Amino acid sequence: MFTQPEDLKNTIYEYQVEQITDGDESIVVQALMAAESEVKSYLMGNDRKEWLDGRPRYDVEAIFSKTGTERNPLILAHVLTIAKWWIAELCNVDFIYEKAKDRYDRSIDWLKQLSAGKVNLSDLPVLGDTTSPSTATGTVADPNSWSYGSRLKFNHE
């Protein structure tokens, strides 16, 4: 796992986690796994054409296979912020809900910007050539080939 329960100490006090989860570490582990999965979903590209616009396609498996100090500190911070939010959903203790929600929203906004290519992290591993268009079969198209079609119909709504 990219994160460990002890990593949360940088985001939420231990006594708060203890009170929220009633000492059940499986809740913490599940929140960390959900947060990792959520962050991965923003970093992974898909087969849609707009993902071939030249933005970096991050090597998600390489990013999340790191441990300890090899982990990217900004990605780690966002994963922990999101994990804190998943834990906070159970909350009824000394915890500032609005602050956790605000930080969660800021993390999600930043991840959206990262996935859209509006911000980039130069120290994250990227996949191979992302500028070549690919066909439906996943093979690189012939650069001398051409295609035809029309634009989508314009609609005043």
Confidence of residue 143 (pLDDT cuts 50, 70, 90): low
The 3-state secondary structure of the chain, one letter per residue: CCCCHHHHHHCCCHHHHHHHHCCCHHHHHHHHHHHHHHHHHHHCCCCCHHHHCCCCCECHHHHHCCCHHHCCHHHHHHHHHHHHHHHHCCCCCCCCHHHHHHHHHHHHHHHHHHHHCCCCCCCCCECCCCCCCECCCCCECCCCCCCCCCCCCCCCC
Token couple for 109: 């906004």
Query: Domain residue spans in the chain?
Result: 5-116
Span 43-100, pLDDT tens digits: 887 666 666 677 778 888 999 999 999 999 999 999 999 999 888 887 765 567 778 8
How far, CA to CA in Å, does 85 sit from each of 34, 46, 91? 10, 26, 10
Token couple for 10: 């940088």
Confidence of residue 139 (pLDDT cuts 50, 70, 90): very low
What's this model's pTM, rounded to 2 decimal places?
Answer: 0.65
